[in-house]
Amino acid sequence: MKKTSIILLVVIAACVAGMVMLVGDFSTYETFATAKKKEGKEIKVIGALDKSKEVIYDPVTDANYFSFYMKDKSGEVTKVVFNGTRPTDFEKSTELVLTGKMKGSEFHCTQILMKCPSKYKDQQTANSVAENI
């Protein structure tokens, strides 16, 4: 067998093994209920901001404390704490993807990804507002 073929085989084997290991790194999407069972494990939760509850960010007291309530896909509402500032246009978000872990009854997140209404939606509102003119 040629050297290059051997190397090729070794590399392919390494890639396959590597991928299997990398899959272990992949996170999963959970709800708060399932997240509670995996307390301390870093996971992702998709949901939406619960606008009826308070959103706290007061830099004068603590510039790194931002908390709000999120309703996950199963409808469960849980308090979320984020060590950072409040993202721009947070109240307008339609969907949130949080990365973090459960700590007791609170979800401590390290990353917030927001989905905002697209510009297309803005345009629809432009059209609908126009009806009143």
Partner 1 sequence: MEKINYIGEHLLPGQLGHFFSVLAFVASLVATVAYYCSVRAKDEPAKESWRKMGRWSFYVQAISIFAVFALLYYIISNHLFEYKYAWQHSSRDLETKYLFACFWEGQEGSFLLWSVWQSVLGLILANTSKKWEAPVMTFIAFSQVMMGSMLLGIYIGDHRIGSNPFLLMRQDSPESPVFQNPNYLQFKQFIDGNGLNELLKNYWMVIHPPVLFLGFASVLVPFAYAMAGLWTRKYGEWIKAALPWALFSAMMLGTGIMMGAAWAYESLTFGGYWAWDPVENASLVPWLTLVAGVHTLLAYRHSGHALRSTFFFFIISYTLVLYSSFLTKSGILGQTSVHSFTDMGMSGQLLISMAVFAIPGFWMLIRRNKDIPKIHKEESTYSREFWLFVGALILMVSAIQITFSTSIPVWNKLLDLFGLKKLFNLDDFATPGDVTFHYNQVQIWLASILGLLTAVVQYLKYKDTPKNTVLKKLAWPTLIALGITVLIGWVGRINYIEYGAGFLVAIYLMLFASVYAVVANFGYIFTGLKGKMKSAGASVAHIGFGLVLLGVLISSSKKQVLSVDSMGMLTGYFTKESGQNSRENVMLPKGLPVQMGPYFVTYKGDSVGTADKDKTFFIMEYEKKDRLEDAATERFTLYPDAYLNVRGQEGITPNPDSKHYLTRDIFTYITAVPRKDVVTDSLPYTPHTIKQGDTIFFSKGFIVLTGLKTQPVTKNYHAEPGDIAVGAELYVHTRENGDFNLQPVYFIRDSSFQGNVPDTLAPLSLAVKFTKILPNENKVELEIKESREPMDYVVLKALVFPYINVLWIGILTMMAGFVMSIIQRIRR
Pairing of strands 77-82, 106-115: parallel
User: In this structure, what token pair is assigned to residue 96?
Assistant: 């949130």
| CB contact at 8 A, 93 and 115 | yes
**46 in contact with partner 1 (CB under 8 A):** yes
User: In this structure, what token pair is assigned to residue 10?
Assistant: 């070794």
User: In this structure, what token pair is assigned to residue 120?
Assistant: 């297309």
Output the smallest distance, CB 110 to partner 1, in A: 6
# residues near partner 1 by CB under 8 A: 58
**62 in contact with partner 1 (CB under 8 A):** yes
Query: For partner 1, which is the closer residue by CB, 77 or 81?
Result: 81
- Rounded distance between C-alpha atoms, residue 120 and residue 126, angstroms: 10
x-or-dash string of contact with partner 1, 63-92, rule CB under 8 A: xx------------------xxxxxxxxxx
Output the smallest distance, CB 6 to partner 1, in A: 11
**2 in contact with partner 1 (CB under 8 A):** yes
| CB contact at 8 A, 80 and 70 | yes
- Rounded distance between C-alpha atoms, residue 81 and residue 100, angstroms: 10
The footprint of partner 1 (CB under 8 A) covers: 2-4, 7-8, 11, 14-15, 18-19, 22-23, 25-29, 42-44, 46, 57, 59-64, 83-92, 97, 99, 108, 110, 113, 115-116, 118-120, 122-124, 126-131, 133
